[in-house]
Amino acid sequence: MVDTAAHKPARKTGRARSKPAAAKSAPPAEAAPVQSAPVHPPAKAAAPKPAARTPAAGSAEKYAAKPTAKPAPKPAPEAGALDPAAHMHDIVPPAVPDFEKMAVNARKAMEFGGKAMAAVMQPLQKGETPSLPDEVTDAVRTLGKVAEYWMTDPRRAIQAQTALNTKFVEIWGNAFRRMTGENIGPVIPYDPRDKRFADPQWKESPIFDFLRQAYTMTVDWASELVARQEGLDDITRAKAAFYVRQIAAALSPTNFIGTNPELLRTTFREEGENLVRGLKMLAEDIEAGGGSLKVRQVDSSKFQLGVNMAATPGKVVFRNDLIELIQYAPTTPQVYRRPLLIVPPWINKFYILDLNEEKSFIRWAVAQGLTVFVVSWVNPDERHADKGFEAYMREGLFEALNNIEQSTGERKVTAIGYCVGGTLLATSLAYMAATGDDRIDSATFFTTLVDFTDPGDLKVFTDAEMVKAVEAQMKDKGYLDGSKMANAFNMLRPNDLIWSYVVNNYMKGQPPMAFDLLTWNSDATRMTRANHSFYLRECYMTNNIGKGKMSVAGVKIDLGAIRIPVYDLAAKEDHIAPARAAFNGAKLFSGPVRYVMAGSGHIAGVVNPAGEKMKYQYWTGEKPQGKFEDWVKAAKETPGSWWPDWIEWIRAQAPEMVPAREPGGGKLKPIVDAPGDYVRVKC
């Protein structure tokens, strides 16, 4: 509780203008809104008792000290009466701020606000024509279809509006009863999993709890309108639900100073200095984004590639226009004869598998006795515009195989493909099966889609209209900016990856912390026009790869022709490559398949180190067949990391050992130390 006596000047002014209330207050059911609720009349001083006698003029009694009169106690509110002062602690700071200092900080904040606006206008000054993002245009078009359905039929419109109004009145009545002192629970329960409403005032204050409930109720109502609309195709419904989530995340009361108790306290406590720092960062981030806000998520200054990130020792042993091939130095006297090739996605950089010593899958694999090679994709520019899927297969994966043989003398390898790198690996394996190339002896897929029937949340960006828009963006430059894909991934989790940083950075004035995973996440890569367009159309739009209708270099891609052993790792909470979709894709392979489902999501499910600090769990079961739900019910859950399970699978296939190999092996001259040069190229 805040001592409201510390705010007497403000409260005195308010009461001087108030008229005494009627003796009885209206019952709660007929009460007016909070701001016009009756105010309790000031207590009347008790009448003094008649004196026994009137002192004569000049008598000593005239000058005698009189006892100080005690003010009469404030009467308790009558039943049903609303006392706004009882809830002043919800919105009033614990101490009166220095208003002069607040005025100075307000002026500074306005200066930085002006700089932010100037940064926004900078593209116009350069003659650039502003345009709405494609996502905004698509959102208006998609949600317009939903609004048309509900508004063109008066009966449906009235039903929808009545449902909203009825719930709103119920929530308001609940808040009113709480403000009158009644001890009742909320209409919409508090969700402890929603970190946005973690401040105690969202539960304890009737005012802020009303805002929380009204917001949650409105979001649920809008989501239900999308879910209940008849005649929508699956893609449009998914897009509408996605855009409702974006709007809901943006309009949360936690995003605004006046409706967030924590932001109010912070602003009064710091006398506005938080806004000065925040608007300064806002101006810097808009300028860094070339007129668009590039929300900073992390302090990357604490990390340096090759020093405390991507620091596993090794050498780049081959380089062409598309890849650098890294071979890592051994840490055991003997290694397995069969080398390991890792094919990461080209939509981000490979060192997600080599963040630091504790989290590095690459370092751990080397310690298990594997000779590890990793493809580091180029960060493409206009010179690479026409490098398509075939080029990534021939100049990427096949060149890596050629040079592994040069370095180690071994023709047979085992391979890992991560995300879209796994899609490329599967495509290449089908091509190799059709052409009699057997250099890959077994394959592991990390959170990979090869059946795009249910491609997860990214499907909202991959319908025909959105793909055409992306291709238009790539037409002139020859590539897709890394920021475009980064924004798409951020929009999949807007509360965590966008608005939490908006609040912390620009309203609390708190710069983001140093965090290795987010440093990697912010290190975006571009995508070539030819490769990205092929991937979107042949995989996401048509699922030709899963249907066996896709062709590469004139060869029909049949995933059923892949008969080598496969270890298929999915992640239970993956929203990019859903576990069910990975399960259905695994059924397309004809050879022995070990399907494993890890806990957590697309990144943490994979980067789950073995050892004392291991997290989550994993599930194993029979070869994937039938329904995914049935497999999950019968699966065995094992606590900890799946990494030991995978290495046992590797050892069982090819247990033969040989003396450790140094990078290059004498046949390839090392070019530069790991992590190489391509990974250092920024967008």
**Do 328 and 348 fall within a single domain?**
yes
Which one is catalytic: 419, 443, 593, 597? 419
Domain final position from 224, 258, 292: 258
Q: What is the DSSP letter of 337?
A: S
Backbone angles phi, psi at 219, to 5 degrees: -65, -45
**Do 200 and 293 fall within a single domain?**
no
Instruction: For residue 505, tell me if it sits in a domain.
Output: yes
Half-sphere exposure of 674 (CA within 13 A, CB side): 26
Domain final position from 500, 520, 540: 520
Question: Is residue 417 over pLDDT 90?
Answer: yes
Q: Distance between CA atoms of 335 and 658, rounded to whole angstroms?
A: 5
- pLDDT computed for residue 110 by the predictor: 94
**Do 319 and 364 fall within a single domain?**
yes
Instruction: For residue 34, tell me if it sits in a domain.
Output: no
CA distances in angstroms from 284 to 112, 296, 369, 452, listed in the order given: 9, 10, 47, 40
The count of domains in the chain is 3
CA distances in angstroms from 91 to 24, 52, 263, 580, listed in the order given: 28, 51, 10, 47
Residue 97: pLDDT band (50, 70, 90) is: confident
**Do 320 and 373 fall within a single domain?**
yes
Instruction: For residue 124, tell me if it sits in a domain.
Output: no
In the predicted model, what is the mean pLDDT of the chain?
Answer: 87
Burial group, residue 234, by CB count within 10 angstroms (0-12, 13-18, 19+): exposed
Instruction: For residue 54, tell me if it sits in a domain.
Output: no
Q: What is the DSSP letter of 331?
A: -
Is 539 assigned a catalytic role? no
Torsion of CA 83, 87, 89, 92, to 10 degrees: -80
**Do 293 and 387 fall within a single domain?**
no
Given 3-state DSSP classes, what are the helix, strand and coil percentages for the chain, each rounded to the nearest 5?
A: 50, 10, 40
Other Cβ atoms within 10 Å of 592 Cβ, number: 12
Instruction: For residue 276, tell me if it sits in a domain.
Output: yes
Q: 């497999």: which residue's tokens?
A: 631
Instruction: For residue 20, tell me if it sits in a domain.
Output: no
Question: Is residue 127 over pLDDT 80?
Answer: no
Question: Is residue 75 over pLDDT 70?
Answer: no
**Do 289 and 320 fall within a single domain?**
no
The arithmetic mean of pLDDT across residues 625-653, rounded, is 97
Other Cβ atoms within 10 Å of 7 Cβ, number: 16
Residue 337: pLDDT band (50, 70, 90) is: very high
Instruction: For residue 606, tell me if it sits in a domain.
Output: no
Judged by DSSP in three states, 364 sits in helix
Residue 90: pLDDT band (50, 70, 90) is: low
Half-sphere exposure of 623 (CA within 13 A, CB side): 9
**Do 238 and 296 fall within a single domain?**
no
Question: Is residue 306 over pLDDT 60?
Answer: yes
Q: How do beta strands 566-571 and 440-446 pair?
A: parallel
- pLDDT computed for residue 89 by the predictor: 53
Q: 């096949």: which residue's tokens?
A: 398
**Do 241 and 149 fall within a single domain?**
yes
642, amino acid identity: W
Question: Is residue 426 over pLDDT 90?
Answer: yes
**Do 399 and 289 fall within a single domain?**
no
Are 595 and 621 in contact by the 8 Å Cβ rule? The answer is: yes
pLDDT tens profile 207-237: 999 999 999 999 999 999 999 999 888 889 9
Structural domain harbouring 313: 303-412+654-683
> Which candidate, 468, 454, 484, 677, places its Cα nearest to that of 576?
454
**Do 179 and 212 fall within a single domain?**
yes
Strands (E), 15-125: none
678, amino acid identity: Y
**Do 391 and 370 fall within a single domain?**
yes
What percent of the chain shows pLDDT beyond 70? 85
- pLDDT computed for residue 94 by the predictor: 56
Q: Distance between CA atoms of 295 and 479, rounded to whole angstroms?
A: 22
pLDDT tens profile 589-622: 999 999 999 999 999 999 999 876 677 999 999 9
- pLDDT computed for residue 133 by the predictor: 75
Q: Distance between CA atoms of 524 and 612, rounded to whole angstroms?
A: 32
